[in-house]
């Protein structure tokens, strides 16, 4: 018998029929002798509906009141799922975040979990009940309702698994795991049976939408074995098959038995590049260029400062494509102050990253990546690296070609 | 400066534009120097939508889980109204019932309020904030969310007014007050400026839908001056006009300056009458007849047992028309046990009641009522009386005629 946390996304909870399916699946795991906690999201579309109502009243909704409203979607979900379990003869009880309690800070709409009280939940589990807890939310020290931000139910599930010392957190979603790259771009893309937290963290922050970045951080920090698997299979799929399906995000590097040098290729099409030319190379130049950009709430990703020549340097960075025009406007207005000769940009670029803990022990990953791109005639505009990742910026028109070439070069379809 | 509680129904909260209107009206009262607590209902249709989802999952939804779900409608309302006030420059804060806390018993879906903590609300009011509290709900001793049943927001508003010692509770609704009778039946029906709690209680329990019965009981028990008034007027209607509009439900009999013998005529079309003939007149006969009816969850209203003749008696009672066939089936199945000779019924009857505290000091109300009906050729089937009410059961086809004749006979259009 193990304690297992299940998380179901909004699509899985999208109708009362689908909620009945979720109940079947949960009941199957409970019947197998496990203690089960379920963390469901709001029914698909519900959170957007609620935020839409709020925006009809206030363009910039008050964060505390927005959380009061937005948190109700998950509250409805837990009640419905609890009923669906009761209806098939299971003992079940639902809790809102504040009832557990899940304590957070007071950063409304983007709160962070500080502690989770396990007393009530443990008592219910020991009494044979399936416990259903709202994702996405908690309560601050003054008993104000807080939400964790979009995708926060992933984080809730992992945090609850950590607090309850669950043996595994199963994230049921509408994909059946984490792939070597997007199967829509590379048909040979292969589902990974395991991936390390560090790799998953890089993939999540690089735009792979499978899991919210913060939930991966939580899983890594608290060493919660977390599995991404499909909620679209038959709910009565034999449990020993389901228990080994999807992708396990593991906290032990050696569980990655596949020992590939790299695990996956992530990419982001919607990038834009801006270069500030001929700025005087003196302390504070980066701050003077990027300060006003940050003040305009524009997030900057890759940053490169060239070797200076004759006391002048070039400064290049990327922003998401939707912010390109805003960022150019900000820079043109501060150009004189910065002392730049000119500002140029390119909104048709994409970022491509190879990720893998194998890079630590294998030399030559960068050179193989660069050679492959060179052989395809693809120019690299910017490079940035971390211990387990190499990212390059390229012309967007070569993006798919580059992903396919690298997927083949690193033998990802066969690993 | 006074502390005033406003309550707004689902229609008043039915869209974001209407919620903005409510905010205008509330702000007007706050601008006039009052401290304001607002208790809004869920947006119209929302509670039904939520209960509908629950019923798709369970025919008889689990009460605790149903309250978990149904309570969210009001939570969305308080958040939206708080934002609408913030958007026009007011300080406002919303609370769910558990945050105040409003403590109830654990009778889910029909809980009763036990206590209300005023500390947090008082502090906010003193700081100049408008406080918005969810109607319809509270929390039991184990922190489970409870709801008070349909129309429960009226009760919440009056209970909060009592706990906070508010000087008045204003129930804004889609009618502009309490009338001598239904204006759709008698065009001369007149709005009452005041009505006593006892009269309002009789009218509410007789089926006049203006206020939930329990809220009137609360107002009477805690002596909360409560006013029913329209939310359909211009929200910027001058406050001295609005403050005297509608109908004040007063706890002092002498504030009823109109001194009419009766205050109003209530009626209910959907009645049915059942007579059990020739039952042996011995102790326990009423229980043996009505016990099985109650066990079938059928509510019985008027009850009459005839003088017995030769040790046999007739027993007549009324049920709501929708329960007529069920009740007949129950009785026919227990007929032999009861020892009745036969069971007859009539599903085309209506109940009509005249109500007024003036009855206490005026003799002859009953005889005037009976004479009026007699002059119109209307036969009375059953009679039941209380200290301030006389109810009769008549053929439904005479119902409107009877209401008009009595309205005229008691001079209600001119009082």
Whether residue B131 is found in the same domain as residue B162? yes
B168 vs B162: CA distance, rounded Å: 9
The model's confidence at residue A283, banded by pLDDT at 50, 70 and 90, is confident
Phi/psi at A316 (5° precision): -125, 140
The model's confidence at residue B259, banded by pLDDT at 50, 70 and 90, is low
Structural domain contains residue A181: yes
Handedness of CA B400, B402, B405, B409 (dihedral sign): negative
Residues in A whose CB is inside 8 Å of some CB of B read 16, 19-20, 50, 53-54, 56-58, 61-62, 64-66, 68-69, 71-72, 75-76, 78-80, 82-84, 86-87, 93-94, 96, 98-99, 143-145
pLDDT of residue A208: 65
Q: Are B176 and B196 in contact (CB under 8 A)?
A: no
Whether the per-residue pLDDT at A209 is higher than 80: the answer is no
Structural domain contains residue B382: yes
pLDDT of residue B415: 65
Q: Does residue B254 or residue A318 have the better pLDDT?
A: A318
The mean pLDDT value for A339-356 works out to 93
Whether residue A291 is found in the same domain as residue A217? no
CA angle B59, B61, B65 (to 5 degrees): 155
CA nearest neighbour of A58 among B2, B219, B19: B19
- Summarised one tens digit per residue, pLDDT across range A309-339 is 888 888 899 999 999 999 999 999 998 888 8
The residue segments making up the domain with residue A239 are 3-253
pLDDT of residue B255: 47
Instruction: Pick from A26, A27, A40, A68 the residue to mutate for testing the B interface (most B CBs within 10 Å).
Output: A68
Structural domain contains residue A258: no
Structural domain contains residue A259: no
pLDDT of residue A265: 93
Q: Is B250 helix (H, G, I), strand (E, B) or coil?
A: strand
pLDDT of residue B318: 93
Whether residue A249 is found in the same domain as residue A290? no
Q: Nearest chain A Cα to B92, which residue?
A: A65
Whether residue B216 is found in the same domain as residue B361? no
Element (H, E) at A352: strand A342-355
| Total domains, chain B | 2
Give the CA radius of gyration of chain A.
24
Report the relative pairing of strands B35-40 and B130-133 from DSSP bridges: parallel
The mean pLDDT value for B139-166 works out to 93
pLDDT of residue A198: 87
CATH number of the domain to which A245 belongs = 3.40.1160.10
Q: Of A195-204, B37-46, B87-96, which gets the smallest average pLDDT?
A: A195-204
Residues in B whose CB is inside 8 Å of some CB of A read 16, 19-20, 50, 53-54, 56-58, 61-62, 64-66, 68-69, 71-72, 75-76, 78-80, 82-84, 86-87, 93-94, 96, 98-99, 143-145
B156 vs B7: CA distance, rounded Å: 9
Q: Does residue A306 or residue A369 have the better pLDDT?
A: A369
Q: Which residues of B309-338 are buried (b: 16+ CB within 10 A; e: fewer)?
A: eeeebbbbbbbbbebbeebbebbeebbeeb
Structural domain contains residue A268: yes
The domain boundary, picked from B254, B287, B313, lies at: B254
Whether residue A275 is found in the same domain as residue A248? no
pLDDT of residue B283: 79
Alpha helices in A231-354 (DSSP H): 239-242, 285-295, 324-338
Q: Are B204 and B178 in contact (CB under 8 A)?
A: no
Closest Cα of chain A to B56: distance in Å? 7
Alpha helices in B270-364 (DSSP H): 285-295, 324-338
Whether residue A138 is found in the same domain as residue A282? no
CATH number of the domain to which A274 belongs = 3.30.2130.10
The mean pLDDT value for A193-209 works out to 81
CA nearest neighbour of A279 among A343, A345, A332, A333: A343
ipTM of the complex: 0.83
Structural domain contains residue A309: yes
Give B81's contacts (C-beta < 8 A, 6+ positions apart): B13, B19, B22, B23, B26, B38, B40, B92, B94, B132
Whether the per-residue pLDDT at A254 is higher than 60: the answer is no
A369 vs A352: CA distance, rounded Å: 11
pLDDT of residue A93: 98
- Summarised one tens digit per residue, pLDDT across range B17-33 is 999 999 999 999 999 99
The mean pLDDT value for B110-133 works out to 96
Structural domain contains residue B415: no
Distances (CA, A) of A204 to A39, A162, B17: 20, 20, 40
Whether the per-residue pLDDT at B81 is higher than 70: the answer is yes
Q: Of A112-121, A203-212, B294-303, which gets the smallest average pLDDT?
A: A203-212
Q: Nearest chain A Cα to B82, which residue?
A: A65
Whether the per-residue pLDDT at B348 is higher than 80: the answer is yes
Whether residue A38 is found in the same domain as residue A169? yes
Q: Are B76 and A50 in contact (CB under 8 A)?
A: yes
Whether the per-residue pLDDT at B93 is higher than 90: the answer is yes
pLDDT of residue A255: 47
Residues A75, B68: C-beta atoms closer than 8 Å: yes
Alpha helices in A206-300 (DSSP H): 213-221, 239-242, 285-295
Residues B86, A65: C-beta atoms closer than 8 Å: yes
The separation between CA B91 and the C-alpha centre of its own chain, rounded to angstroms, equals 33
Let me know how long chain B is: 415
The mean pLDDT value for A89-95 works out to 98
The model's confidence at residue B256, banded by pLDDT at 50, 70 and 90, is very low
The mean pLDDT value for B93-102 works out to 97
Whether residue B140 is found in the same domain as residue B65? yes
pLDDT of residue A366: 87
Q: Are A177 and A238 in contact (CB under 8 A)?
A: no
Among the partner-chain residues A62, A80, A99, the one whose CB lies closest to the CB of B83 is A62
pLDDT of residue B313: 87
The mean pLDDT value for B138-142 works out to 96
The dihedral region occupied by B248, where left means phi > 0, alpha psi between -120 and 50, and beta the remainder, is beta
Whether residue A333 is found in the same domain as residue A249? no
pLDDT of residue A237: 95
Residue contacts between A and B (CB atoms, under 8 Å): 99
Average pLDDT of the residues of chain A: 91
- Summarised one tens digit per residue, pLDDT across range B296-339 is 888 888 888 877 788 888 889 999 999 999 999 999 999 888 88
Q: In this prediction, what percent of chain B has a pLDDT beyond 90?
A: 69
Q: Does residue A304 or residue B207 have the better pLDDT?
A: A304
Crossing angle, helix A72-87 and helix B72-87, to 10 degrees?
Answer: 180
Give B175's contacts (C-beta < 8 A, 6+ positions apart): B210, B228, B230
Residues B68, A145: C-beta atoms closer than 8 Å: no
A326 vs A274: CA distance, rounded Å: 11
Among the partner-chain residues A69, A82, A87, the one whose CB lies closest to the CB of B79 is A69
Whether the per-residue pLDDT at B91 is higher than 60: the answer is yes
The domain boundary, picked from A219, A253, A287, lies at: A253
The domain boundary, picked from B254, B274, B306, lies at: B254
The separation between CA B99 and the C-alpha centre of its own chain, rounded to angstroms, equals 27
* Unique residue bearing structure tokens 């025009």: A325
Handedness of CA A315, A316, A318, A322 (dihedral sign): positive
**Residues of chain A contacting residue B132, judged by C-beta atoms under 8 Å apart:** none
A40 vs A22: CA distance, rounded Å: 9
Give B119's contacts (C-beta < 8 A, 6+ positions apart): none
Structural domain contains residue B371: yes
Residues A58, B96: C-beta atoms closer than 8 Å: no
Whether residue A84 is found in the same domain as residue A164? yes
The model's confidence at residue B220, banded by pLDDT at 50, 70 and 90, is confident
**Residues of chain B contacting residue A65, judged by C-beta atoms under 8 Å apart:** 79-80, 82-83, 86, 94
The mean pLDDT value for A111-135 works out to 96
CA nearest neighbour of B168 among B246, B217, B221, B225: B225
pLDDT of residue B5: 98
Q: In this prediction, what percent of chain B has a pLDDT beyond 70?
A: 97
- pTM confidence score: 0.85
CB count in 10 Å sphere of residue A168? 17
Whether residue B50 is found in the same domain as residue B135? yes
A246 vs A194: CA distance, rounded Å: 9
Q: How many CA atoms lie within 13 A of A90 on its CB side?
A: 28
Whether residue B112 is found in the same domain as residue B54? yes
The dihedral region occupied by B33, where left means phi > 0, alpha psi between -120 and 50, and beta the remainder, is left
């Amino acid at each position: 018998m193990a304690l297992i946390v299940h998380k179901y996304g909004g699509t899985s909870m999208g109708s009362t029929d689908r909620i009945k399916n979720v109940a079947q699946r949960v009941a199957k795991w409970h019947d197998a002798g496990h203690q089960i906690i379920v963390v469901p999201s709001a029914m698909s579309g519900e959170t957007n509906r609620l935020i839409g109502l709020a925006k009809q009243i206030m363009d910039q909704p008050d964060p505390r009141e927005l959380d009061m409203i937005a948190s109700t979607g998950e509250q409805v979900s837990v009640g419905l799922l609890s009923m669906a379990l009761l209806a098939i003869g299971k003992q079940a009880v639902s809790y809102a975040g504040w009832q557990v309690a899940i304590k957070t800070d007071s950063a409304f709409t983007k709160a962070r979990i500080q502690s989770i009280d396990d007393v009530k939940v443990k008592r219910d589990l020991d009494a044979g009940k399936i416990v259903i807890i709202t994702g996405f939310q908690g309560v601050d020290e003054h008993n104000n309702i807080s939400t964790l931000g979009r995708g926060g139910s992933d984080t809730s599930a992992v945090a609850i698994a950590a607090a309850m010392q669950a043996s595994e957190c199963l994230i049921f979603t509408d994909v059946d795991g984490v792939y070597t790259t997007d199967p829509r771009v590379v048909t040979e893309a292969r589902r990974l049976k395991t991936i390390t937290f560090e790799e998953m963290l890089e993939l999540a922050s690089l735009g792979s939408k499978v899991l919210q970045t913060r939930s991966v951080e939580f899983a890594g920090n608290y060493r919660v074995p977390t599995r991404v698997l499909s909620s679209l299979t038959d709910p009565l799929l034999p449990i020993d098959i389901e228990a080994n399906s999807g992708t396990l995000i593991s906290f032990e590097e050696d569980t990655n038995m596949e020992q590939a040098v790299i695990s996956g290729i992530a990419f982001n099409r919607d990038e834009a590049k801006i270069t500030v030319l001929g700025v005087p190379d003196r302390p504070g130049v980066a701050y003077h260029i990027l300060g006003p950009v940050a003040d305009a709430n524009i997030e900057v990703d890759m940053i490169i400062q060239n070797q200076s020549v004759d006391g002048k340097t070039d400064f290049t960075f990327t922003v998401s494509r939707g912010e390109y025009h805003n960022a150019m406007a900000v820079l043109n207005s501060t150009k004189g102050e910065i002392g730049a000769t000119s500002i140029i940009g390119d909104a048709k670029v994409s970022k491509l990253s190879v990720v893998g803990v194998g890079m630590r022990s294998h030399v030559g990953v960068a050179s193989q990546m660069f050679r492959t791109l060179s052989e395809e005639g693809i120019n690299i505009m910017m490079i940035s690296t971390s211990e387990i990742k190499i990212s390059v910026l390229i012309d967007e028109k070569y993006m798919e070609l580059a992903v396919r070439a690298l997927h083949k070069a690193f033998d990802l379809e066969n690993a």
